[in-house]
Amino acid sequence: MTTGQRVLVRLGGPQAVGLFVVCLLAFVAETQLSQYVQADLGFRQPYLLFYIVHSSFALSLPLHILLLSATTKHSIRSLYKSLLVAVQQHLSPESDADGPGAREFPTWKLMRLCGLLTLGMTLPSLFWFIAVVLAPLTDVTALWNTNAFFAYVFAVLISGVKWDVRRLIAVLIATTGALIVVYGSSGAEVDEGSPASLLEGEKAPLVGDLLTLAASIMYGAYQVLYKMYAALPDDPEVQIDGHYAPLAVSPEETVDGIEDGPTSPLLSRAETSNPPPFGLYPNMLTSAIGLCTLCTLWIPIPILHFLDIEPFALPHRAVTYGVIAGIALSGSIFNAGFMVLMGLWGPIVTSVGSLLSIVLVSISDMVFGDAVDTFTVWSIMGCSAIVLAFGILAYDMVKGR
């Protein structure tokens, strides 16, 4: 294996690296479109936008399964069964010791996990949607991405990760870089005709910044807890390698014994794809979050309308529907991909990597938002610090430390 191939394997393979790039672009698109639909098009309903975007997560798993069934040799049945096996082994490993006859699918454990994941993703995301209206876009992006620092702190406090000087320095560099971008460009004048100034009369920067900071702290904790309790404990190096096959405890052991229902037949190893293909399991969790959102989080909509906090109204222009669809698509891509990467890279590397979105948002502000004056020397220094920090962590992961 060449050095380049070994680096790719350490990073989760070319699929993971490509997914990371797509996630960054999707986040930038979601951020810009969210401000555009509220500032330029006047559709200022953050909770409704949040509900639409997060409900669209439900499509992640069906689309992924259809794609795999159309482009690979896996059948829909085998993919479905591989997910059942993965959930069974992850949530109820103790049932394996009781024999095949005692294996019962952990329905309630899965429902509880999906409910907690929905809650953990809902609160930070909702705060973010509100903050986009109240605070400058770059501030929201920078403060949101300080979750890298909080993810590292929670990783040490909750999961027992030991303090590592190199990682700590990288996280501090990234966080400092984010703050430099925020405060370095805060003194720059904003063109009155730019999208960032259209809501100036209604902005409350302090409230927006505080909401974003709270969202960042909650999301940092969410990333660590997701890696600890929701993600599969698979080594990305062997998972991506293609030569990996799970070892049986005994010659007679197979991956059968997972039931569709009370009377469904058992499934042999030949009928499954175990472990599930790249990204399928986290996409199942993402779809579950979307389904929970769709079924439960519509309840505040009439309440907000009745209290006149956010009067319900549908868009009146076709372009608004198109932009909302773009927000839903880019948001689904970002969140689904991010959950895959959290399982592969862990919360620290993934959250610091997402800081690169600040660089792309700053560039997109200049290109699409006519905000050239806001990109200062401080912005360049901050963006460079973020890139350096991610490079340190990527090198650290490649070396296997």
**Per-residue pLDDT reduced to its tens digit, 51-79:** 999 999 999 999 999 989 888 888 889 89
Neighbouring residues of 28: CB distance < 8 A, sequence distance ≥ 6: 357, 360, 361, 364
Alpha-carbon distances, residue 280 vs 119, 245, 300, 394 (angstroms): 21, 17, 31, 24
Identify which of 153, 158, 126, 127 has the alpha carbon closest to the alpha carbon of residue 227: 158
Question: Are 36 and 259 a contacting pair, CB within 8 Å?
Answer: no
CA dist., res. 173 & res. 151, Å (int): 14
- Both tokens of 358, joined, read 């600040």
Note the pLDDT of residue 120.
Answer: 92
Note the pLDDT of residue 187.
Answer: 53
Q: Is residue 261 over pLDDT 50? A: no
Identify which of 261, 278, 337, 230 has the alpha carbon closest to the alpha carbon of residue 82: 278
Identify which of 281, 253, 254 has the alpha carbon closest to the alpha carbon of residue 268: 254
- Both tokens of 178, joined, read 């984010």
Q: Considering only 217-231, 251-265, 306-320, 345-359, which range has the smallest mean pLDDT?
A: 251-265
Note the pLDDT of residue 153.
Answer: 85
State the Cα angle at 92 between 95 and 105, rounded to 5°: 85
Neighbouring residues of 10: CB distance < 8 A, sequence distance ≥ 6: 237, 397, 398, 400
- Both tokens of 160, joined, read 């027992």
- Residues found in the chain: 401
Q: Dihedral of the CA atoms 240, 241, 247, 253 (nearest 10)?
A: 60
Identify which of 3, 13, 6, 7 has the alpha carbon closest to the alpha carbon of residue 236: 13
Work out the number of other CB atoms within 10 angstroms of the CB of residue 392. Answer: 18
Q: Around 84, how many Cα atoms within 13 Å sit in the side-chain half-sphere?
A: 22
Question: Are 362 and 383 a contacting pair, CB within 8 Å?
Answer: yes
Q: Mean pLDDT, the chain, as a whole number?
A: 77
Note the pLDDT of residue 240.
Answer: 38
Note the pLDDT of residue 236.
Answer: 42
pLDDT digits (tens, 9 = 90+) for 378-396: 778 888 888 888 888 777 7
pTM, 2 dp: 0.76
Work out the number of other CB atoms within 10 angstroms of the CB of residue 214. Answer: 15
Going from N- to C-terminal start, the domains of the chain cover: 3-398
CA dist., res. 63 & res. 279, Å (int): 12
pLDDT digits (tens, 9 = 90+) for 149-176: 888 888 888 877 777 888 888 888 888 8
3-class secondary structure, 146 = coil
Alpha-carbon distances, residue 117 vs 6, 11, 35, 89, 349 (angstroms): 33, 25, 26, 19, 20
CA dist., res. 63 & res. 48, Å (int): 24
CA dist., res. 296 & res. 353, Å (int): 32
- 231 vs 179 pLDDT, higher one: 231
State the Cα angle at 32 between 42 and 126, rounded to 5°: 75
Note the pLDDT of residue 356.
Answer: 78
Q: In 375-390, which positions are buried (b, 16+ CB within 10 angstroms) versus exposed (e)? A: bbebbeebbebbbebb
CA dist., res. 305 & res. 243, Å (int): 55
